[in-house]
Chain A
Amino acid sequence: MSKLSGKAWVFSDDISTDHIAPGRYFHLRSNLPELAKHVLEDAREDFAKNVQPGDFIVAGENFGLGSSREHAPTIIKLAGVSAVLAKSFARIFFRNAVNIGLPVIMLDTSGINEGHQLELDMRSGVLKNRSSGKEISFQPLSNEMMKILGDGGLVEHIKKHKEIKL
């Protein structure tokens, strides 16, 4: 998990959980592969059809604002996205993503363009942009978050340690 590579899909500020997992597909929440076919549909219609395993979501401020629906990060992960990079995240989305094992990284995404080839090193806290040749360093996740992510999510963490051990 520590090194990930893929191409960038660029999104705006304020991508809400309604953009990611629209309420009109509420009835698909117990059918996640089907729900994943609509991931981010209200932000970019072309995304769900064309996203490739390993690709990155690159966004602006406050990604994932809105509801507590964990289905949002879950279908992003199911779509094969390796990590979400954003200038900032909404709190519940951020925690949900870590809990289900989807890497979420806060960094300055302003120089990343659509289709840029990216390589992310989670542990050292460096994003290499192979298309622009630039490197962006970022604050690695907190120790608690890295432990949960390292174990593959909160459920796996608890199965492994038999308790919350942060």
Chain B
Amino acid sequence: MSVRPQTLAEKILSAKCGHPARAGETVVADVDLAFAQDGTGPLAIRQIEALGLQGVARPEATIFFFDHASPSPRRELSDDHRFMRAFCMKTGADFSEVGRGICHQLVAERYARPGMLIVGGDSHTCTAGALGAFATGVGSTDVAVAMALGRTWFRVPESFKVELTGRFEKGVCAKDLILHLIGDIGAAGATYKALEFSGDLKNLDMESRLTISNMAVEAGAKAGLFPADEITLTYLKDRGGKKLSPDPGADYEKILKYDLKKIQPMVSKPHTVDNTALARDLSGIKIDQVFIGTCTNGRIGDLQIAADILAGKKAAAGVRLLVGPASRETLLEADRRGLLKIFVEAGGIILPPGCGPCVGVHQGVLGSGEVVLATQNRNFKGRMGNPEGFIYLASPATAAASALAGKITDPREVL
């Protein structure tokens, strides 16, 4: 029987719903992993209880992460944590304690494999697409249903193919590419679609792919998928997994092409991610705070890039430098490499593994009128706890170079 060539999205959703599914079709599919975090988990648990179900279908494939308020700054959030722990104890669902790190980083480090179908109660669940998993962010009710039944419904998305060639110049990295792409197509440019990256991917290591997939949702996409190749299998080590790629001749709604060599350091200006500009065109904008971390750019490679620029130097007077490793493993590795010393000697503050100030809960809330340059994925008004603050987004290299200068700086000026 000949099967119509499939995109990666169609392929994975077909395998999980049990029949060849086409873009546009609605399917009910088995979910391999369902998770929530401490901002969405309590409501998800209440929805599971509202369903009249006491437990979860597959406790071993159900995880609650404590990362948004880590550690908790308020009694209300401590009580939310207690509520989540108690539910996990009762049902056998897994939980990831305060201090272990950000859900998306831990899913990448420990759980995701190519071909998996993953739903998470967090919009950046698309991060695991870097490993060839169809991973998508949903709300608390959707994740509650997936946890309770072990399956949920999906509309199979149309896909855009993003063909990449070449390699980045020095001082340019994955963050610059994805900001450039979002600036091109807009914050709603891929709404309801899957972005499927292809082409010459050997120059994009796993951490770069995670950064790119992480921000697929900032173009509105449902998923940001990479094929699983040698780089994926090397990253997975003994977790196992097979290569996976879309079929030749699969149907793509749109094809975008980027030569990595032509990408330059990019910055998103307040208050939308698609409000992009070249870093060098913004040089001179004074900053009060720099934050290097998050599920977008808090991995060891990101910290290494920043430390290489900051080594032996100090952040400019008047700039608070915050560094948040994405996970406990990242923190330990940064310690082994001597990066923590570099950050602290540069005047930096090391934050506990977690989401840190990105969500506006704690650890670096902006003052009114203050400007931050952050490596996170969002700069919406109020995002970092104060609607009177101004958030610029950039790569770890741009963030580190800007911390030294006290103003937005193209990192190629200091390399």
Contacts and interface: CB of A to CB of B under 8 A. Distances in A.
The answer to whether A and B come from one shared complex is yes
Q: Give the size range of B's interface with the partner.
A: 35 or more
Interface of B: 26, 28, 39-40, 42-43, 47, 50-52, 68-69, 74, 76-77, 79-80, 83, 120-123, 125, 137-142, 144-145, 149, 151-153, 155, 187-188, 191-192, 217, 220, 222, 272, 359-361, 365, 378, 380-387
Interface in A64-118: 65-71, 74, 88, 90-92, 95-96, 99-100
B122 A66 contact: no
A91 B386 CA distance: 26
Contact of B121 (A27, A68, A166): A68
A18 B383 contact: yes
A31 interface: yes
Contacts of B140: 68, 70, 96
Interface of A: 14, 16, 18-19, 22-24, 26-31, 42, 61-62, 65-71, 74, 88, 90-92, 95-96, 99-100, 142, 144, 153-155, 158-159, 163-164, 166
A100 B359 CA distance: 24
Q: 3 shortest A-B CB distances, which residue pairs?
A: A23-B360, A70-B139, A96-B139
Contacts of B69: 26-27
B74 A166 contact: no
A70 B139 CA distance: 5
A27 B378 contact: no
Contact of B385 (A24, A61, A159): A24
Contacts of A28: 76
A155 B149 contact: no
22 contacts: A14-B187, A19-B381, A22-B387, A23-B383, A23-B385, A24-B382, A24-B386, A26-B68, A26-B361, A29-B43, A42-B381, A61-B188, A62-B187, A65-B220, A67-B123, A88-B191, A90-B191, A95-B138, A158-B145, A159-B52, A163-B149, A164-B28
A144 B24 CA distance: 12
A29 B44 CA distance: 12
Nearest to A28: B76
B361 A23 contact: yes
A91 B360 contact: no
Most buried by B among A14, A74, A159: A14
B125 to A, nearest CB: 8
Contacts of A18: 360, 378, 380-383
B142 A99 contact: yes
Given A67-B378, A154-B145, 11 more contacts: A19-B380, A24-B385, A61-B188, A67-B123, A70-B43, A92-B139, A96-B142, A100-B139, A144-B153, A164-B145, A166-B26
A67 B120 CA distance: 12
Contacts of B149: 158, 163-164
Most buried by B among A18, A22, A88, A90: A18
Contact of A91 (B80, B145, B220): B220
Nearest to B142: A99
